[in-house]
Structure 1
């Protein structure tokens, strides 16, 4: 989607705040003993109260309002009766449609007690995301996003999952530009135009560069189960830099 007016931008921001606040509430509710189904019910309730519709349900008939993955799973986990345990690394992805506008966000959470290595991975997952966001400007190279994230990962001793990419969003959950690499892709030649709406969502890992589907048609996991985190924002490119719309406040 390309934002063409201030009214469209405000509507996108409404959708962004809804998913951001839902994600924050679900993360706050994480504790040992809660099931991923109960977490998903919380997310569904918050979306419905805000007049939003779950984007994965709406678009793909996903069996849940949100995606919740308990490590070693890293993405597209189906909410069920599995209980969260102390020490779990959990990814929550929330995307929704409000008044015809779609926004998408996600984050990983380590349930205490956890190890310094996992705490650092979570901290650096957020830093990797923002290194990509800071590379965005209208008129710039789309490849700059992945190049910046790759430099951060290399500098800090991490790998990046290379078969999960960022994407255009706004008028649909997934749209052009598709397959935006969050790693250095030498073949990327596209430019970022003014008003372009897209996600940035690197998967930073302690060794994995690939994920595989686990057999349920949805859930993705590194072959060797390496700890992996994902953090995601939806943003709009402007000549002055990015406007991040998936902030809770």
Structure 2
């Protein structure tokens, strides 16, 4: 069942989402060669608690960490480790926060130093596909419209679109209806209505779309060992249109990136 949010609840969800956004921005200063993902995990937990929220992942479904950190061929759900990040790696950092009874949940894939041109292109296309999908999240459209848009854009670039893992509704539970696949057919699936809030999160592989799970019971990796990218935003339908509750701008401030990619999805062209 889809749980529609009131305008007041959406504002509470924005607070939760922005705590995650600020956490990722803080981590952007720390993500570098020689740092371990366990170190990043400790920093994230402390930062979230210091900002009056609780880690959204820690303990959820038995998750042992605040962050899920997926490096190189890991797609999602990677557990933090003591292995240092290396020059040329990429790492998806997925983070959740719980505040005012509502969850925020989004992710960004970071480059560690200089990465290969092929990997950089994968990240660019995956992030572009996120906004292409968000554009389809509006009243009257359906789940398949978002999935189709993401799938076509990524497959046109020769990449594999993961099938088994999907985005989702979000609210007082981390995972609510509807499921939001990154593939689909136009006009299919549940219809979008005012007040819906979802996590849209393309998970795109450089090679095959096929995946497998490691023995830790969490980490999902590409079947062919090629890199995978993952970007995620929390998005609400407000006045019939998609409005992003999360932001990558805190990350961009640290990394010195200038971007207006989120601007069309901001209420009244608000800049965060």
Q: TM-score normalised by the shorter chain: which range applies?
A: over 0.9
Q: Cα distance, 1:206 vs. partner? A: 1.2
Partner Cα distance (1:154, 1:38) in 2: 35
Matched, 1:156 2:154: no
Q: Cα distance, 1:157 vs. partner? A: 2.1
| TM-score of the pair, normalised by structure 2 | 0.87
The 5 A counterparts of 1:198-237 are 198-237=198-237
1:100 corresponding residue in structure 2? 101
Partner Cα distance (2:155, 2:65) in 1: 35
Runs of 4+ in 1 over 4 A off after TM superposition: none
| TM-score of the pair, normalised by structure 1 | 0.94
Matched, 1:3 2:5: yes
Partner Cα distance (1:187, 1:239) in 2: 21
8 Å Cα contact 1:69/1:77 also seen in 2: yes
Partner Cα distance (1:154, 1:116) in 2: 18
Partner Cα distance (2:232, 2:40) in 1: 19
Partner Cα distance (2:59, 2:236) in 1: 23
Secondary structure of 2:73's aligned partner? coil
8 Å Cα contact 1:37/1:81 also seen in 2: yes
Partner Cα distance (1:118, 1:220) in 2: 19
1:78 corresponding residue in structure 2? 79
8 Å Cα contact 2:141/2:187 also seen in 1: no
Post-superposition Cα deviations, 1:32-89, rounded to whole Å, max 9, x if no partner, equal: 1111111111111110011111122242231111111122212111112111111111
Partner Cα distance (2:28, 2:72) in 1: 15
Secondary structure of 2:237's aligned partner? strand
Matched, 1:191 2:164: no
Secondary structure of 1:29's aligned partner? coil
8 Å Cα contact 1:138/1:238 also seen in 2: no
Secondary structure of 1:237's aligned partner? strand
User: Which ranges of structure 1 fall in alignment gaps of 5 or more residues?
Assistant: none
1:134 corresponding residue in structure 2? 135
Cα pair distance change 1:10/1:186, threshold 3 Å: closer
Partner Cα distance (1:239, 1:76) in 2: 34
Secondary structure of 2:5's aligned partner? coil
RMSD between superposed Cα atoms in Å: 1.5
8 Å Cα contact 1:2/1:197 also seen in 2: yes
Aligned pair count reads 247
